Amino acid sequence: MSQFQPPFTVTSKIIHYISDIAEAIGKLSIMYNEKDILQSKQDALVKQVKNALLNDNVTLTKAQINTIYHKDDIDLSEEIIKKVNNSIEVYEQMNNWDINLCDDFLTAHKALILSQENTTDNYRTNNTINSKKLKVAPQALHIPQMMEDLFSWLSTSTEHPLIKSSVFHYELKFIHPFVEGNSRIASLWQSKILKQWNPLFILFPVEKFIEATKQQYNSAINESTDTGDSSVFIEYILENTLSTILKIDNSLFLNKEPARSLAPIEKNTTPQETPQVKALINVLRQSDISLNRKQLQEKLKLKDRKHFRERYLKPAMDAALIEMTIPEKPNSKLQKYRLI
């Protein structure tokens, strides 16, 4: 019996998105340290719960969720409060679950839907939900084997986590293993896969943009199903992931300027001061010494020397924001760079 392989194509668009996301996260990691991430955890949890509940047509404010989180009194039904507490518990337990274990996945889903009436936490047993026949989903009797195959692929696949998590998300939606909560658990599990790859994904879980782009989300799923290839859905996830990261990135550059702001830099600010240049400047601001090219690339998490020179180093020098320590010998092996 051959091993299950989900049908998808790694398009050039997907490759470009992965490259851009990796670069954006690299810059973001310079601005965000471990302390920042810890401080953001509660806020991120509240946002995750808020976005996840929207998938169940439950609309609450962050303030309301915070009130429930802190066990304070609030004028909401017991059913809603229970649903919020269950969601909070699920997200707090995420670190204890293994992304490759179907049993942990089932435990997570069970916790998510505990507060829903007339709902079972087991796999669906027929092809009719709320008196409506599922048009595309596989027969219920095939679900256990399909889920086993999907998790076997997840645990052995060597694909990039951005691709692997997106394929898993789509395949879960296609299988539609549960009566309720398929979108929520698919989003949660993808976020967990991505956070295992890079902890910064706590700041931009997929739940964050799915509700805001619900029509695009459904269209990507439908088109992938029609073509028998989930590349359209992968592109949708990566496009919106990149957009979310860049929004956070731009916000940080606007609101988290280092205290050491020198007048000459402000004076020489030009249109060439792109996010890449700002990232380079920030690295030099945080350093007490001049840095060579290799050191700068390491701190920026950039491997391509040509890309670094064209997008970071040259624009910063052209804008008179940084200078060489040995300007008379630009190609010297001892060359370093510092702020002007």
Number of domains in the chain: 2
Q: Which of 251, 271, 286 is the last residue of a domain?
A: 251
What pLDDT, on a 0 to 100 scale, did the predictor assign at position 27? 80
Q: Which of 251, 272, 296 is the last residue of a domain?
A: 251
Segment holding 98, helix H or strand E? none
203-251: per-residue pLDDT in tens? 888 887 898 899 999 999 999 999 999 999 999 999 999 998 888 766 5
What pLDDT, on a 0 to 100 scale, did the predictor assign at position 260? 33
**Same domain, yes or no, for 168 and 279?**
no
**Same domain, yes or no, for 138 and 50?**
yes
What pLDDT, on a 0 to 100 scale, did the predictor assign at position 331? 84
**Same domain, yes or no, for 127 and 107?**
yes
Residues spanned by the domain of 328: 263-339
Residue 306's domain is classified under what CATH number?
1.10.10
* 245 domain residue, yes or no: yes
What pLDDT, on a 0 to 100 scale, did the predictor assign at position 36? 62
**Same domain, yes or no, for 163 and 246?**
yes
Q: How many CB atoms lie within 10 A of CB 307?
A: 14
What pLDDT, on a 0 to 100 scale, did the predictor assign at position 317? 85
Output 77-86 pairs: Cβ under 8 A, ≥24 positions apart.
79/115, 79/117, 82/114, 82/115, 83/53, 83/56, 83/58, 83/115, 83/116, 84/49, 84/53, 84/60, 86/111, 86/112, 86/114, 86/115
* 279 domain residue, yes or no: yes
Rounded Cα distance between 164 and 158, Å, is 8
What pLDDT, on a 0 to 100 scale, did the predictor assign at position 271? 38
Residue 57's domain is classified under what CATH number?
1.10.3290.10
**Ranges of residues in the chain whose predicted pLDDT is under 50:** 1, 115, 117-118, 131, 253-272
**Same domain, yes or no, for 247 and 269?**
no
Rounded Cα distance between 331 and 279, Å, is 23
Q: How many CB atoms lie within 10 A of CB 156?
A: 9
* 193 domain residue, yes or no: yes
* 7 domain residue, yes or no: no
**Same domain, yes or no, for 242 and 306?**
no
* 4 domain residue, yes or no: no
Minimal CA–CA distance to 231: which of 10, 63, 36, 79? 10
* 220 domain residue, yes or no: yes
**Same domain, yes or no, for 76 and 172?**
yes
User: What's the pTM value of the predicted model, to 2 decimals?
Assistant: 0.66
What pLDDT, on a 0 to 100 scale, did the predictor assign at position 29? 77
**Same domain, yes or no, for 211 and 74?**
yes
